[in-house]
Amino acid sequence: MATTTANVVVDDAGRLSATAGFVREQDTSVLLSRVLPGLDGPELRALTDRCSFAHAALLVFPPDEQTLRTELAACGLPADARPQPSVVVRERLAARCGRPAADLDVRILRPEVRGPAGEHRAVEVFALTVPPGSGLSGIAADERGSDHEAHLAFDVTRPDPLVLRGLLESFAQHGAAADGGGYNPHEDGTVFYFTAPVGTKTPYGRVELYASGDHRDVLTEHLGRRPAAGPARQRGETQPTETLLRLLTGAWTTQALAACAQLRLPEAMNRQSGSGVPELARTVDADPQSLGTLLRYLAMLGVVSQGPDGFRLTDVGALLDAGAPRSMRPLALMYGGPFYQSFAHLAHAVRTGQPGFEHLYGENHFDHFARDPELTALFDQSMVSSAPIFDPLPAHPVLTAAATAPGRPRTVVDIAGGTGELLGRILTAHPALRGILLERPQVLEAARAHLAATEAGARCEYRAGDFADVPPGADVYILSRVLHDWDDDFCRAILGHCAGAMPRHADLLVVERLLPTDDTPSLATAWDLHMMCNTGGRERTADHYARLLEERGLVLVGHTPLALGAHALHARRA
């Protein structure tokens, strides 16, 4: 990670602050795709299932321990942890600078931070105390400039030897080279370091896999990895072909997941003891041989696992169970059904600028769904499948301020709020707030049923209407995953209705995924293609939204990250 600008060394406090900000913002799946360019969908999902982003690390050189604690506190990092010896970094530093390891008392702290969805993460801080005038000052200057110990780390979820070897092989196949590692007896953990591959899209040149426990046998294999010229050249020649083949078969993955949901395999499978193919085939009324083929493919994707007692669900596969909390079964049926069929007309959408969905069905998807109650219900349920986006939103400062404002109860309007998933969460988190849900008449019935089962239902009013019917005089207005359905002209109309209804003091929260301003992989980039083909809408950058807001007399105050690549954009009247 670069730490110099115009030959001026960035101080430790600035480096700590930048690292903490990076850790707070990253999504594991997106970060892995940036670290290892070329990961395809199935392999990326498999890696995400087996490891999670845990921390970013840096080596600092405070003059004393109190200075370090002051700098940590200034970055919003807990400063009360007791430092532990860092065996691995001490030995690496000693080898680089030619000093005895005993002269380098490198300590490690891991102040905790939270990820965008509330994940427990840390900033891993290696610290070597360098008092003013110390003979170690030259080492500190060199290390700050080179940042040899700056790295990203992923925790291995289930660190058995088989999983570890598979992860190490995946990293190696995508160009990450073994770069040391070690076993730390002070915390009973094994680290595996890699040099990031050429083309990595993060500022970090090193990557760590961390596995709890003593895995020195696997570590020995890792440290001894030296690919021969012949096989390496052969892999380099075949990798583009293999990569393209994997990309071309992405449609098979979508349909395999949809078939799993359609057959209700998750409901039929025993997660504890496993289920044999003949038993499952009888339960779901399927051909045993064909079902076995599907299950083996699902095992490759990490949706199920195969053992001596048969197949069982993984945590990923459990999300396709209709009875699971936050089930994603409706989303699998939508993506494997009408949206999948419309993607066959993607080339038409690109040539003409008209959605593939309209070309296939002869009408836009909202009108098409409105005429089919079952499809409408499935679509609304699929929207709830992405509810983790909403987890951090009730704590947004705009909502907290409205809930604690003195005087009359404040009102939140959720415009096109579906079945009330988000509004229900907000009202539950803030008993002082009242809510208004504006939706199509055919959706309000499901919303009433959903919210009536919660304490929030008694504080919610239901309004049937469209965007021209935004209720005036409320305190907070919400547009969650609405604007990306529409082109710029229609977005301006929606925002105009909002601006016309908003009192001077009111706030507007827009929940959308934001396109990156560079070539960084993102969920928004994928959904941009989806919206183009299915709704005629698009994802946008923050600046694009700011322009749309400005054209309707609103100003973008700022935006904060949520889960699954989403952001909450805060706007007010200009």
- Which among 345, 365, 396, 484 is annotated as catalytic? 484
- Cβ–Cβ under 8 Å, residues 354 and 536: yes
Contacts of 92 (CB under 8 A, 6+ apart): 148, 149, 180
CA 199/CA 243 separation, integer angstroms: 16
Give me the residues of the chain with pLDDT under 50, please.
Answer: 1-10, 226-238
Domain with CATH 3.40.50.150 in the chain: 387-573
> 4-223 falls under which CATH superfamily?
2,3-Dihydroxybiphenyl 1,2-Dioxygenase, domain 1 (3.10.180.10)
DSSP state of 302: T
pTM passes above 0.75? no
Domain 250-336 has CATH 3.40.50.2000: no
- Cβ–Cβ under 8 Å, residues 51 and 167: yes
Of the candidates 345, 429, 351, 419, the one whose C-alpha atom is nearest the C-alpha of residue 385 is 419
Domain with CATH 3.10.180.10 in the chain: 4-223
What is the per-residue pLDDT for 232?
39
Tokens of 249: 């078969």
* Residue where the block lists tokens 């309007």: 413
CA 23/CA 159 separation, integer angstroms: 23
Secondary structure of 358-423 in HEC code, one letter for each residue = HHHHCCCHHHHHHCCHHHHHHHHHHHHCCHHHHCCHHHCHHHHHHHHCCCCCCEEEEECCCCCHHH
CA of 221: how far to CAs of 161, 189, 276, 502, in Å?
Answer: 11, 17, 35, 64
DSSP state of 11: P
CA 390/CA 478 separation, integer angstroms: 12
Does residue 484 have an active-site annotation?
A: yes
What would the pLDDT profile of 315-374 be if each residue is shown by its tens digit? 888 889 998 888 999 999 999 999 999 999 999 999 999 999 999 999 988 888 888 888
Domain with CATH 1.10.10.10 in the chain: 250-336
CA 125/CA 112 separation, integer angstroms: 11
Tokens of 403: 């809930």
What is the per-residue pLDDT for 272?
60
- Cβ–Cβ under 8 Å, residues 403 and 432: yes
Contacts of 127 (CB under 8 A, 6+ apart): 59, 60, 61, 62, 65, 68, 83, 106, 107, 108, 109
What would the pLDDT profile of 71-129 be if each residue is shown by its tens digit? 888 888 887 777 888 887 888 788 888 888 888 989 999 999 998 888 899 999 999 99
Tokens of 329: 């079964």
Tokens of 247: 């990309």
- Cβ–Cβ under 8 Å, residues 195 and 222: no
- In terms of C-beta density within 10 A (0-12 exposed, 13-18 middle, 19 or more buried), how is residue 222 classed? buried
What is the per-residue pLDDT for 230?
41
What is the per-residue pLDDT for 372?
86
H-helix or E-strand containing 434?
strand 434-439
CA 90/CA 72 separation, integer angstroms: 21
User: Which amino acid, 385?
Assistant: S
- Cβ–Cβ under 8 Å, residues 121 and 112: yes
> 387-573 falls under which CATH superfamily?
Vaccinia Virus protein VP39 (3.40.50.150)
